[in-house]
Amino acid sequence: MTEYFNIGKLVAVHGLKGELLLKHELGKKTSLKGLQAIFIEEKKNSFIPYFIEATKIKSEDEVYIKLEGVNTREVAIKLTQKQAWLPEPDFKKFAAKSAPASLLGYTIIHKNESLGEILELIEQPHQLLCRLDIKGKEVLIPLHEETLQKVNHKKKEVLVELPDGLLEIYLT
């Protein structure tokens, strides 16, 4: 099964011909040149491809996007506020190594022990929260300057030094 990565959200309609504004979290300015399609999750785990006709950079984290078959403002409005997804190979091609979203699927390591795979990243003003599943329980691991030790992109590992008692809160 193809793994999909959330890259952002279609936030607004631009103009009268169905162009949309995509606010992305790819970590770098991009026109998405060469990308064939984005995927929109219509229902849980049901990703529908929307083929790209044209794109144009607006800012560091925004791009205007014209999708095939979306030719009026009314049709485009129905897609606003929807999350945009990319299959893993496209995501790896367009996401910056430094983008928080690029850590999805990495393993969190604390005191030489593997805690689990990062299932979701929640961005907050002063930290990033990584959602893991440890022994069937949801655990949120904060990443900020005090906890993050090192990111090893080759091994797909994030080394952390967690405050005493943090894991116990979740696991007891």
Which of 65, 94, 123 is the endpoint of a domain? 94
How many other CB atoms are there within 10 angstroms of residue 105's CB atom? 12
Q: Are residues 111 and 137 in the same domain?
A: yes
Percent of the chain scored above 70 by pLDDT?
98
Return the pLDDT at 1. Answer: 55
Return the pLDDT at 3. Answer: 79
pLDDT digits (tens, 9 = 90+) for 137-166: 999 999 888 888 988 888 989 999 999 988
Q: Are residues 84 and 23 in the same domain?
A: yes
Which of 94, 117, 141 is the endpoint of a domain? 94
pLDDT digits (tens, 9 = 90+) for 25-58: 888 888 899 899 999 987 777 889 999 999 999 9
Question: What mean pLDDT is predicted for residues 86-92?
Answer: 85
Q: Are residues 8 and 86 in the same domain?
A: yes
Structural domain includes residue 132: yes
Mean pLDDT (the chain) is: 88
List Cβ neighbours of 163 (8 Å cut-off, separation of 6 or more). Answer: 147
Residue 146, domain CATH: 2.30.30.240
Q: Are residues 122 and 158 in the same domain?
A: yes
Torsion angle, alpha carbons of 103, 47, 81, 23, to 10: 40
Place of tokens 């300015």: 29
Question: What mean pLDDT is predicted for residues 53-82?
Answer: 94
Pair 158, 118: CB distance under 8 Å? yes
Pair 96, 102: CB distance under 8 Å? yes
Residue 98, pLDDT above cutoff 80? no
Q: Are residues 27 and 79 in the same domain?
A: yes
- N-to-C CA span, the chain: 34
Q: Are residues 20 and 85 in the same domain?
A: yes
Percent of the chain scored above 90 by pLDDT?
46
CA distance 112 to 128: 21
Pair 77, 15: CB distance under 8 Å? no
Residue 24, pLDDT above cutoff 80? yes
- Per-residue pLDDT band for 69 (boundaries 50, 70, 90) equals very high
Residue 45, domain CATH: 2.40.30.60
pTM beyond 0.95, yes or no: no
- Per-residue pLDDT band for 119 (boundaries 50, 70, 90) equals confident
Structural domain includes residue 83: yes
